[in-house]
Amino acid sequence: MTLTMPAPIFEIEDLRAHYLTRFGQKIQAVDGVSFSLKEGEILGIAGESGCGKTTLVSACMGLYIPPLHQSSGDVRVDGKSIIGMDVEQNRKDVLGRLVSMIPQGALNSLNPTRKVKDLAADMILSHDEKADKQEIQGRLRERFERIGLDAELVLNSYPIQLPAGMKQRVVIGISTLLNPRVVIADEPTSALDVTTQKSVIRLLFDLMDQQIIGSMLFITHELPLLRHVSSRIAVMYAGEFVELGSTEQVIFDSRMPYTKALMGSMLSAEPGQKSKKPVAIEGAPPNLAHRIKGCRFAERCPEARPDCKENEQLIRIVANREVRCQYAE
């Protein structure tokens, strides 16, 4: 009897995506990202704003709305590629069904003039036109109860009538209605108080345990937050992954200078980190409209050496994780 490894649930292979500005400039916002997710796994993606996280999300969903275009690369869900479909096919088969997103600013994401149940029904019907309306309401009720909401009350309300915490749950509920294989949570806990943050994370874990969600990408700019959320972390900078390893490795034992600087610039309540004063990283990320020679972090890197700016930085395996730094060890 041979044990065959099941295909990873989510595979990104050398993905590149760019923006075309009105003046014809090409901005390579995602420049060669690769990773894969196993079923039941949570991968955290950490990076400052402007590193390309948002573009990566769109690209992972195969959703390219001009001026965003795909340059090259592949995205596979359960082994099947979702790149190259036409817009309508992408909408129907991929969005919300294979890969679903929980947006940043969930509080404004619900149409104010639509009752929750109608919005949810819109979503279901958009993917399955022949679905029975009664059956849909039944499904909605069942699912909302499962995620801890008073279905009767919430489904019949307008967004304005719900408190912020409930709205967040509603958004999570709607995004996961079709049991997506991959859920991309884009900064789901920013702008929330600590208690609500915890309950949101717990809800996401529950949904994964109940196998409603297949796997998850958890995107945040708060690297320390991922300590209790993901099993692996990818650190993103200027359109590339610069470090990819287990959570412990990346947070406590990072080898990439940028990751070290990132951790150093954050306030953390973690043991061993409390006494350290946060130090901001000087300078700014590079302009991606121009072809960049050598390491993109070299300008601001405290450990940079002269030839860092000359040599193309490839991914190396250092101390059991991926690092994009020629001198890391």
Contact footprint for other proteins (CB under 8 A):
61, 63, 65, 91-92, 94-97, 100-101, 103, 105, 108-115, 119, 122-123, 125-127, 158, 160-163, 171, 174-175
C-beta closer to other proteins: residue 97 or 255: 97
- DSSP class of 309: G
C-beta closer to other proteins: residue 175 or 249: 175
- Given its phi and psi angles, is residue 88 left (phi above 0), alpha (psi -120 to 50 degrees) or beta? alpha
Task: Give the helix ranges, DSSP H, for 82-132.
Answer: 87-89, 116-127
C-beta closer to other proteins: residue 92 or 146: 92
- Least distance (Å) between residue 255 CB and other proteins: 35
User: How many residues does this entry show for the chain?
Assistant: 329
- Least distance (Å) between residue 200 CB and other proteins: 17
- Least distance (Å) between residue 29 CB and other proteins: 17
- Name the E strands within 38-138: 42-46, 68-77, 80-81, 99-102
CA dist 244 → 129, 259, 313, 325 (Å): 41, 10, 15, 12
Find out whether 194 and 180 touch, Cβ atoms under 8 Å: no
C-beta closer to other proteins: residue 112 or 272: 112
- Least distance (Å) between residue 247 CB and other proteins: 27
C-beta closer to other proteins: residue 91 or 309: 91
Count Cβ atoms within 10 A of the Cβ of residue 235 and give its class: 0-12 exposed, 13-18 middle, 19 or more buried.
Answer: buried
C-beta closer to other proteins: residue 112 or 271: 112
CA atoms of 84 and 174, how far apart (whole Å): 26
- Least distance (Å) between residue 192 CB and other proteins: 16
- Least distance (Å) between residue 123 CB and other proteins: 5
Find out whether 41 and 11 touch, Cβ atoms under 8 Å: no
